[in-house]
Structure 1
Amino acid sequence: MHHPLCNVIEPRFERLFIADSYANRRGKGTHRAIDRLQHFAQRHRYVLRADIVKHFPSIDHQVLHAILARVVPEADLMALIDRIIASGAGVLDEEYATVYFPGDDLLAACRPRGLPIGNLTSQFWSNCYLHPFDQFVTRELRWAAYLRYVDDFALFSDSKRELWAWKRAIVERLARLRLTIHEGPAQVVPVENGIPWLGFVVFPGYRRVKARKVRGATSRLSGRLDDYLAGHISFAELDASVKAWVNHVRQADTWGLRRHVFAGLRFTMVPEKSTGAARP
């Protein structure tokens, strides 16, 4: 049901989405989002990077319905959409702390909210839900140096004062969608400090993998190697896991890091010009 529904309504929204929204869209993805962030970092002095608090648990069903209904006028399609949305009510309640917004009464805590994170429709509707916010930044703030990946977004400028003013405007606009940002990390900083972004720290001239991500990958690859040596998985499965990690971290300056990780796991690096595999 989810795939056919997305096939029908996705093209309608795709025509409306901004170019610099990179999650769950054909021809986009994490690597292009990283490239684009670095592109902006090379052209501006300061960045405001922020992320939304508990995005999927916070998605308000009434707000989402209103956004979708503007583009989907068919009553039968909206009835189906409403049933799917309603099925997610309460699924992530344990992850959501009630937030009251201007104009709320005590019944606001009872508003249906939340989308299952893994569903195809949830991923698509996440983009639809934040589409009005994207339009606010690019049209009302009239600023092009902006990009978003799911609930992470960044704005660039040569003026710190401008970015601080935009932050206040952003917080107010997100409140209309019943969303908040993590205030602590949402600071205006020089791009030379490095920008945490999708598992990397991006600088104007180079990129690094976050240390936490390296530790996690090392642990996972070690487990896969143990499974292979114990005969629980095939070499092809081990090789696929290694290649997936290599292809991801290649987005940063990681040749030395990969050698270090593989040496600790008793792997031998294959030359860079080859497929990027490693052998036990």
Structure 2
Amino acid sequence: SSYQSFNISDPKPRIIHKATVRDRLVHRAIYQKLYPFFDRTFISDSYSCRIGKGTYKALDQFRKYANKVSQNNTKTCWVLQCDIRKFFASVDHQNLFDILTRYIPDQNILKLLKEVIGSFNTQPGIGLPLGNLTSQLLANVYLNEFDHFAKHKLKAQFYIRYADDFVVLSDDKLWLNQIIPVVQRFLQDQLKLTLHPNKVTINTLTSGIDFLGYVTLPHCWILRTKTKRRMLRRVNQENIESYRGLLKHCDGHKLMQGLDSQIDSPSLRLRRSKAGMTKSVVF
């Protein structure tokens, strides 16, 4: 398989690898065949690229767990946050294939999966392409090993993972510090992955937890500052409704007022006029 590569920079720089049309059809067929089976093996607190899950379900669960740990904000809730360093670029092909063979008895499907996995690498035998539909499923299959370790071996009752980011909530800061090297050893020994050294933190809920695009506080979510600035910089009549939808999930009334005023600002009207968009939006 050949891949077309292109860069995106929202919200951060990434290289996306796009397969050919024929290969994308094959990837979709594989995904549709395997997703229902593998989804049943995943823990309930894995939220990325799953039907009925997603960002807001993860944030809702985070808030529920925070309320339990803090006993409705009467105790300190500590949050361990971790990020797996260059996850997609670091997935070991043989490790992934070994995991798949434990679940899939059909040799024809395994042969096809081996071809798909081997069609891309960041270095020999390593890496999944960002952009493949199959990569989303295979990423969850790979990290499902860690999910079960976290839940059942570490006994991390209040654990949530979204893609390569995960959090563990507890009222015991010492225990959270103690499990960090255990997590690091498992990821290294079993999955050949490492934690990002600058993205392992333990903070209190009251200090604000920046997770999945929002800062969670005891009584509300607020949009992270970088996202606010980006929205104010890019708002226009085409994207205002999608921003409105984003803000309805958090304490974003004042920001919405700011976006509305931006839409009606003289400078934006001038830019629209120059671009041939003379109609204004009425709310």
Q: TM-score range by the shorter chain?
A: 0.7 to 0.9
The corresponding residue for 1:108 is: none
Is residue 55 of structure 2 the alignment partner of residue 42 of structure 1? no
Q: Which of 98, 111, 133 lines up with 1:66 in the alignment?
A: 98
Cα displacement (A) at 1:120: 0.6
CA contact (8 A) 1:208 1:253 kept: yes
Segments of structure 1 that go 5 or more residues without pairing to the other structure are 94-110, 226-237, 268-277
TM-score (norm. length: structure 1): 0.80
SS of 2:68's partner is coil
SS of 1:53's partner is coil
Moved over 3 A (4+): none
Residue deviations 1:177-199 (CA, integer Å, cap 9, x gap): 11111223312211111111111
The corresponding residue for 1:162 is: 175
Cα distance in structure 2, aligned partners of 1:143 and 1:74: 34
SS of 2:240's partner is helix
Cα distance in structure 1, aligned partners of 2:173 and 2:98: 35
CA contact (8 A) 1:41 1:203 kept: no
Cα displacement (A) at 1:205: 1.0
The corresponding residue for 1:104 is: none
In the alignment, residue 56 of structure 2 is paired with which amino acid? H
Residue deviations 1:121-173 (CA, integer Å, cap 9, x gap): 00111101100000000011122200100011000111011101111111111
Cα distance in structure 2, aligned partners of 1:177 and 1:279: 53
The corresponding residue for 2:277 is: none
Q: Which of 148, 155, 163 lines up with 1:150 in the alignment?
A: 163
The corresponding residue for 2:250 is: 252
Could you tell which deviates more after superposition, 121-130 or 242-251?
A: 242-251
CA contact (8 A) 2:235 2:262 kept: no
The corresponding residue for 1:266 is: 264
Please give the root-mean-square deviation of Cα atoms over the aligned residues, in Å: 1.6
In the alignment, residue 152 of structure 2 is paired with which amino acid? R
In the alignment, residue 27 of structure 1 is paired with which amino acid? G
Cα displacement (A) at 1:220: 2.7
> Greater relative contact order: 1 or 2 (C-alpha under 8 angstroms, separation 6 or more)?
1
CA contact (8 A) 1:42 1:205 kept: no
Residue deviations 1:3-33 (CA, integer Å, cap 9, x gap): 1111111122111100000011010011111
CA contact (8 A) 1:146 1:155 kept: yes
